[in-house]
Amino acid sequence: MNTIKFTAVILILLLTSCVSQKKYAAAHDRAALCETNLKNSQNENSMLEASIANEKNRAKSLEQQLEYFKSTNTNLLERLSDLAVVSKSGAESIKKSLEALNEQNKYIKDLTSSMQRKDSLNLVLVMNLKRSLENFDDEDINIEVKKGVVYVSISDKMLFRSGSYQISNRAEEVIGKIAKIVNDHKELDILVEGHTDNVPISTECMADNWDLSVKRATSIVRLMQNKFNVQPSRMTAGGRSEYLPKTTNETVEGRAKNRRTEIVILPKLDQFFELMEPPTTSLEMEE
């Protein structure tokens, strides 16, 4: 009888040990996953900080130009005050030169201020998008700042079935979160671009990869308009086919990365072009 009891105790201890080992292994896996996600987040933040640093350097350069123009303006005024006699035409010429410099100063100052506002807005957009989409796999969604605007790149497997432009239920969830954020920033426009790999496609519905990339972009635009109330006047849909790949098409993994839809959030084009045009000086108007 004692032998039976002893054997039972041994079995209970062994079973308890197995369960503990499984719990430990599961906890270890979860910790490893958290560490990987943390490293990925740190890398993305480092890239974003580098982009912001570049923009700050550009702003600093513009500020230095502004200081130069101010100094030149002051020198001209001092020279004018030293002249005992100035002809009427000479005085008018100096006055026009000063006005032109003042206009240039104002342009540089406004441009610097606009760049700083844009950088701050991009930072807010990226943080809000990352927070809103944090439950989705980082391999399927990539958010970054390129060329001064925010890019949201989404893999085709999250949005569409293979070779199709019909939107999945999973896609509606993702697009809905993005639409909510862009609706909070009505001063911005949205460009939706479809991208494919270089594998040819030809069906009754689609002639080629150009056709597929455009149809996928317009599907996303329609969804944002019809279900999530994004103003259609703010959106543009376009297809890039296979001609702007992110990486090589020679591997399965590379082709998967190239099949994507990119949502580009950018300032309204008319305001952007107005900002980039230098002011017309008084001398230019007379000429």
Judged by average pLDDT, the poorest of 31-45, 194-208, 221-235 is 31-45
Residues with Cβ within 8 Å of residue 235, at least 6 apart in sequence: 189, 190, 191, 192, 221, 224, 225
The 3-class SS string of 6-17 reads HHHHHHHHHHHH
Cβ pair 122, 145 in contact under 8 A: yes
* Top-confidence range, 86-95, 108-117, 123-132, 240-249: 240-249
Percentage of the residues of the chain whose pLDDT score is greater than 70: 66
Q: How confident is the model at residue 285 (pLDDT cuts 50, 70, 90)?
A: very low
Q: How confident is the model at residue 47 (pLDDT cuts 50, 70, 90)?
A: confident
Cβ pair 101, 72 in contact under 8 A: yes
Query: Mean per-residue pLDDT for 191-204?
Result: 93
Q: Which amino acid is at 66?
A: L
Question: Nearest-CA neighbor of 187 among 99, 271, 244?
Answer: 271
The burial class, CB within 10 Å (0-12 / 13-18 / 19+), for 189 is buried
Residue 269 pLDDT more than 60?
no
Q: How confident is the model at residue 84 (pLDDT cuts 50, 70, 90)?
A: very low
Cβ pair 227, 122 in contact under 8 A: no
Residue 5 pLDDT more than 80?
no
The pLDDT value given to residue 63: 77
Residue 2 pLDDT more than 60?
no
Q: How confident is the model at residue 82 (pLDDT cuts 50, 70, 90)?
A: low
Residue 283 pLDDT more than 50?
no
Residues with Cβ within 8 Å of residue 211, at least 6 apart in sequence: 239
Tens of pLDDT, residue by residue over 206-262, are 999 999 999 999 999 999 999 999 999 999 999 999 999 999 999 999 999 999 999
Judged by average pLDDT, the poorest of 84-88, 96-100, 233-237, 245-249 is 84-88
Question: What pTM does this model have?
Answer: 0.59
Residue 275 pLDDT more than 60?
no
Percentage of the residues of the chain whose pLDDT score is greater than 90: 36
CA distances, 195 to each of 154, 156, 207, 232, 247 (Å): 10, 9, 15, 21, 12
Residue 111 pLDDT more than 80?
no
Residue 282 pLDDT more than 70?
no
